[in-house]
């Protein structure tokens, strides 16, 4: 059953009436610009046609009731109880409930009305695969509360409130890219986001290509210490390079020419980490003109180079991700392939000629299983619109 029908029917069964509305917010995949967001770089995500669906109505009372179909769990909380991350009875909220509760909290912190709600939600976004299921939950609830309350915020403002919920309420120190893509997505387009200024624009995806996502089924294992070590290495590089390049604030400010001239001043491991970031930001800059000219073959080569850099310099790949990418790059119709997301498990993203996408997906799954013994999930996707209320 499609998630929209599932949440609608479950809402009717649970609350004895049809929902007032159904909200949708997509997951996202990042095609280029990996591990550059915290270096003030440029990212190139797309919202995809995998999403979280929320059937909802105003509760008419003093409590909100949420039913998560995917977990088969229900919680009840109030505007007061969420301040202490507890349900209406004083029990700590389960992790899944903290994402929607955190959105209500962030809206309240911003002085916006977020009335009590009855909601049922479900998703066809695989959890832990690096496609940002949590951001899609946050953005679906943000548009749900917007529709109930009468205020209206630009999509980027909703994204920032979702990020605040995840950073300060859930306690996950994510960047803005995931919520941004889920809120601001545009069908058949990539998004280009400047992570420093938050300025963004859309770039066309040529109609002859498909986005194919391949889930290795290996869940991400990027520990906080591994992430923090890489982030610290980037900060260390800026501190050293600023002696010769006064005024730089982040690796985004270091040209590739300057980096190559000065990289000998850096410790070997710091140089490797920083080189990935500087070169990846340069790849993102080059990619804009390529997409504007419709040169998807050259864009795909940048994706291939990104994977090699994540594997060899940033060292966030795994044998399973490398196998998936290597198999994909050898198949007919594949223009580019790389790991996507933080790494250490999860998915690869592949740019494939649309006419070859079906055969590519089947061959990739077969080859990966033969190589690793694992059974992957392969999704042929399209770039989708951002979070919205569905019309009945």
The residues near 312 (Cβ < 8 Å, ≥ 6 apart) are none
Give the model's pLDDT for residue 115: 94
Residue with more model confidence, 127 or 212:
212
- Dist CA 300 CA 206 (whole Å): 12
Give the model's pLDDT for residue 33: 95
Average pLDDT value over all residues in the chain: 93
178 is catalytic: yes
The average pLDDT across 211-221 equals 86
The average pLDDT across 74-79 equals 96
CB 10 within 8 A of CB 69: yes
Lowest mean pLDDT among 224-238, 327-341, 366-380: 224-238
pLDDT 10s digits, 320-368: 999 999 999 999 999 999 999 878 888 999 999 999 999 999 999 999 9
CB 50 within 8 A of CB 27: yes
Question: Is the pLDDT at 283 greater than 90, yes or no?
Answer: yes
CB 153 within 8 A of CB 170: no
Question: Is the pLDDT at 222 greater than 60, yes or no?
Answer: no
- Dist CA 303 CA 230 (whole Å): 21
Question: Is the pLDDT at 308 greater than 80, yes or no?
Answer: yes
Q: Which residues pair with 352 in a beta bridge?
A: 210, 334
- Compute how many other C-beta atoms are within 10 angstroms of the C-beta atom of residue 78: 16
- Dist CA 51 CA 166 (whole Å): 18
Burial call 327-366: b when 16+ CB within 10 Å, e when fewer: bbbebebbbbbbbbbbbbbbbbbbbbbbebbeebbebbbe
Burial label, 64 (beta-carbon count in 10 A; 0-12, 13-18, 19+):
buried
How many angstroms separate the most distant Cα atoms in the chain? 69
Burial label, 74 (beta-carbon count in 10 A; 0-12, 13-18, 19+):
middle
Give the model's pLDDT for residue 103: 97
Question: Is the pLDDT at 130 greater than 70, yes or no?
Answer: no
Specify the pairing of strand 189-194 against strand 117-123: unpaired
Q: What percent of the chain has pLDDT over 70?
A: 97
pLDDT 10s digits, 166-181: 989 998 777 788 999 9
The average pLDDT across 311-328 equals 96
Enumerate domains of the chain plus CATH numbers: 3-204+385-390 (3.30.230.10)
The residue from 37, 87, 178, 253 that is catalytic is 178
- Dist CA 280 CA 337 (whole Å): 15
Q: What percent of the chain has pLDDT over 90?
A: 85
Q: Which residues pair with 344 in a beta bridge?
A: none
Q: Which of 68, 66, 106 is nearest to 88 (CA)?
A: 66
């Amino acid at each position: 059953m499609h998630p929209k029908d599932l949440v609608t029917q479950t809402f009717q069964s649970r609350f004895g009436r049809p929902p007032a509305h159904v909200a949708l917010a997509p997951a996202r995949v990042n095609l280029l610009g990996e591990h550059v967001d915290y270096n003030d770089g440029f990212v190139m995500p797309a919202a995809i046609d995998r999403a979280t669906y929320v059937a909802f109505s105003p509760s008419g009372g003093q409590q909100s009731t949420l039913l998560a179909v995917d977990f088969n769990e229900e919680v009840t909380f109030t505007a007061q109880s969420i301040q202490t991350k507890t349900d209406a009875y004083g029990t700590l909220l389960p992790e899944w409930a903290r994402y929607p509760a955190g959105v209500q909290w962030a809206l309240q912190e911003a002085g916006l009305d977020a009335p009590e709600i009855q909601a049922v939600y479900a998703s066809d976004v695989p959890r832990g695969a690096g496609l940002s299921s949590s951001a899609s939950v946050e953005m679906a609830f943000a548009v749900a509360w917007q529709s109930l309350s009468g205020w209206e915020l630009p999509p980027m403002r909703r994204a920032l409130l979702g990020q605040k919920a995840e950073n300060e309420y859930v306690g996950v120190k994510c960047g803005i890219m995931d919520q941004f893509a889920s809120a601001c997505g545009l069908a058949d387009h990539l998004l280009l986001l400047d992570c420093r200024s938050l300025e963004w624009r859309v770039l066309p995806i040529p109609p002859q290509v498909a986005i194919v996502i391949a889930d290795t089924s290996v869940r991400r294992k990027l520990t906080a210490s591994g992430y923090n070590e890489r982030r610290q290495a980037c900060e260390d590089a800026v501190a050293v390079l600023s002696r010769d390049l006064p005024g730089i604030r982040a690796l985004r400010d270091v040209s590739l020419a300057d980096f190559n001239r000065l990289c000998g001043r850096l410790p070997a491991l710091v140089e490797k980490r920083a080189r990935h970031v500087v070169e990846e930001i340069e790849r993102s800059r080059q990619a804009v003109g390529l997409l504007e000219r419709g040169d998807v073959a050259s864009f795909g080569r940048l994706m291939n180079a990104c994977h090699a850099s994540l594997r060899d310099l940033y060292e966030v790949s795994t044998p399973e991700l490398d196998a998936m990418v290597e198999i994909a790059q050898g198949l007919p119709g594949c223009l580019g392939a790389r790991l996507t997301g933080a790494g250490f498990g999860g998915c690869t993203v592949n740019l494939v000629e649309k006419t070859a996408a079906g055969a590519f997906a089947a061959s990739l799954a077969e080859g990966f299983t033969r190589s690793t013994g694992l059974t992957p999930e392969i999704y042929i996707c399209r770039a989708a619109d951002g979070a919205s209320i569905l019309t009945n």
